[in-house]
Amino acid sequence: MKVTIGQINTTNGDIEGNVAKIITAIEKAKADGSDLIVFPEITTHGYTSQDWFQDPDIIDHSLDPLERILPATKGIAAVVGTVRRNFDNDGRRIYNSAAVISNGELLGFADKTLLPEYDVFDDPRWFEPYHGRNRHLFEVAGKKVGVVVCEDFWNDKTFWKDRLYNKDPADEVIEMGAELVVSINASPYNKGKIKLRCDMVAHRAKANKVPIVFVNLVGGNDGIVFDGASLIADEEGDIILQAAAFKEFVETVELDCRKPDSRGITGDEIGAIHDALVLGIHDYAAKNGFQKAVLGLSGGVDSTLVAALACEAMGPENVLCVMMPSPYSSEGSIKDSEELVRNLGCESRIEPISDAFETLVDQLNLRTPTRGGESLAAENIQSRLRGVILMAISNSEGRLLLSTGNKSELAVGYCTLYGDTNGGLAVLGDVLKTEVWDVARYINVQSAGFSSYERDESRTRSREIIPQRIIDKKPSAELAPNQFDQDSLPPYELMDPVLKMYFEQKASPAEIIAAGHDPERVYWILNKVEHPANEFKRQQLPPTLIISKNAIGIGRRRPITHKYKRQIPK
């Protein structure tokens, strides 16, 4: 039996465009002689359509896309992620389903049973779970095929130490005698997840002696980035088809080929973060109609990295870097920024803010900063003036403004509301400062990552895209004389491991301290993160590209108004 992975990049609500991609992939699969092509979860409408799934028009016409897809399946079978109406009087009005089609006929649906409501997921808000007692298998190319939707595959009692549900729909279809298990997914990228999926699929295939087709969505929608990385495992648990990550992928394999496919998964997590950010920028801009971008370039590593990623995602000819020196900007920062612009080949301009800053300081009778933190109002005016300039350029030239703040800063409130938090997309809002440095180094080592535009390959490989001075320099907001981040914050090398445990592992203070971190520092950091003023800032951030679990934004929900405060146990 030949099976095709239909890993396509969908857009929320672009039903016509999504269906066209489905049909194109079906035609390729037929040309490859495939028996079955499998698409991701809710391919027809876009998985992250959120409350659009409650819209009466969407519900009433939920199956219209299938009417266009059915004729294209003459001579092949397809599993297509879609939604369908719930005609019962009770429950949510729509199911999250897999439509199983063969030779132009709809064989039936496999409705999603387990509805996640953790991290970025909120399925119970929109979908009715499958309540039927008896699942059924589908006859495809002479094989009994069991079909499950995303979470229904992720509850294997022999793989997971802790499980969220009592049921295991995938195990149920295997017990019914499925000769092939198909799992359609919209599983977002976060660190470590690509390998986790490979291990999970291979484990279940080998343990149950059944081939598994695991197809995952690819593409960015708002801040959520789906990495694809679909795979097919044979009954021995060997991966026989591994889709590329962060790219569309339509390829076919013979199930009993016995040829392991080593492509795609390298285990390079920093490289995966880089690719996720590039795809996130590209898709957010393209799907929202932006051809050009703008950002403020300070000479620091954060804005430098955003500029490099934006040039890769959108092409350097479409990226504008604006340098906005103030009385406290160092000469080195301007020179470093100019060198970066030459390396990237993007557009730049200088818009000084010194005169406007001095005018406002005099008008408002503010104290001029002589050291960091001495006059926060005057410091913040500089950041807000830059925000005004960048928003004006964004409005007048139709450019997407990319915010450049990193997760470490945003977590503890080391940012200026209506200043450096301005923007249409927060590129590094889920990237810790130490990870920013790692990705910057990765770009210099892997300069071939800039192959999306022409250059002299041999020359580029031998030089730095990002000047090493920028990576090595001591972090500074440069809003006051001789100001450095470390004057106000713990060193990032000490702060980031605490933030990582807190956000990504939901670790308690005791668990963080037990990992070797200083108790006073841990409590200082956590009380900074959880302070109402900093939550107030974070809730006004632009959409943030997500690369980790429980990220700032929709992956982590906290009230602004609260009186919780952590105390070191006596």
End-to-end CA distance of the chain: 66
| Mean pLDDT within 49-61 | 95
- Is the pLDDT assigned to residue 523 strictly greater than 60? yes
- Is the pLDDT assigned to residue 453 strictly greater than 50? no
Out of 150, 311, 346, 415, pick the active-site residue.
150
User: How far apart, in whole angstroms, are the C-alpha atoms of residue 206 and residue 234?
Assistant: 8
| Mean pLDDT within 87-107 | 95
- Please report which confidence band the pLDDT of residue 134 belongs to, taking 50, 70 and 90 as the band edges: confident
CATH 3.40.50.620, applies to 272-538: yes
Question: Looking up tokens 């649906």, which residue turns up?
Answer: 109
pLDDT at 332: 84
Q: Give the residue extent of every domain in the chain.
A: 2-267, 272-538
User: Nearest-5° angle of CA 437, CA 443, CA 445?
Assistant: 105
112 is catalytic: yes
Helix axes 331-344, 301-314, angle to 10 degrees: 20
- Is the pLDDT assigned to residue 458 strictly greater than 50? no
- Is the pLDDT assigned to residue 487 strictly greater than 90? no
Residue among 330, 349, 273, 326 at smallest CA distance from 470: 330
Q: Mind listing the pLDDT tens digit for each residue in 276-325?
A: 999 999 999 999 999 999 999 999 999 999 999 999 999 999 999 999 99
**Lowest-pLDDT choice from 244-248, 406-410, 455-459:** 455-459
- Is the pLDDT assigned to residue 454 strictly greater than 80? no
Q: 3-state class of 544 per DSSP?
A: strand
User: How far apart, in whole angstroms, are the C-alpha atoms of residue 426 and residue 410?
Assistant: 11
Share of the chain above pLDDT 90, in %: 85
Q: What is the pTM of this model?
A: 0.94
- Is the pLDDT assigned to residue 98 strictly greater than 70? yes
Q: Which residue has the higher pLDDT, 232 or 331?
A: 232
- Is the pLDDT assigned to residue 139 strictly greater than 60? yes
Out of 21, 112, 292, 537, pick the active-site residue.
112
Provide the 10 A C-beta neighbour count for residue 132: 8
Provide the 10 A C-beta neighbour count for residue 455: 14
| Mean pLDDT within 190-194 | 93
| Mean pLDDT within 148-169 | 95
150 is catalytic: yes
- Is the pLDDT assigned to residue 397 strictly greater than 80? yes
pLDDT at 456: 41
Q: Are 135 and 177 in contact (CB under 8 A)?
A: no
Q: Mind listing the pLDDT tens digit for each residue in 69-86?
A: 999 999 999 999 999 999
Do the bridges between strand 218-221 and strand 224-227 make them parallel or antiparallel, or are there none, so unpaired?
Answer: antiparallel
Tell me, yes or no, if the two domains 2-267 and 272-538 fold the same way. no
Out of 21, 30, 41, 312, pick the active-site residue.
41
Classify residue 231 by its DSSP letter: E
Q: Which CATH number applies to 2-267: 2.30.130.10, 3.40.50.720, 3.40.190.10, 3.60.110.10?
A: 3.60.110.10
User: What ranges in 32-127 are assigned the alpha helix state H?
Assistant: 56-60, 64-69, 123-126
Q: Mind listing the pLDDT tens digit for each residue in 211-228?
A: 999 999 999 999 999 999
198 is catalytic: no
User: How far apart, in whole angstroms, are the C-alpha atoms of residue 46 and residue 418?
Assistant: 32
Sheet with 180-185: strands ordered across: 138-140, 143-149, 180-185, 212-216, 231-233, 239-242
Q: Mind listing the pLDDT tens digit for each residue in 254-271?
A: 999 888 886 656 668 999
pLDDT at 446: 80
Give me the chain's average pLDDT, please.
Answer: 93
pLDDT at 267: 65
Q: Mind listing the pLDDT tens digit for each residue in 338-358?
A: 999 999 999 999 999 999 999
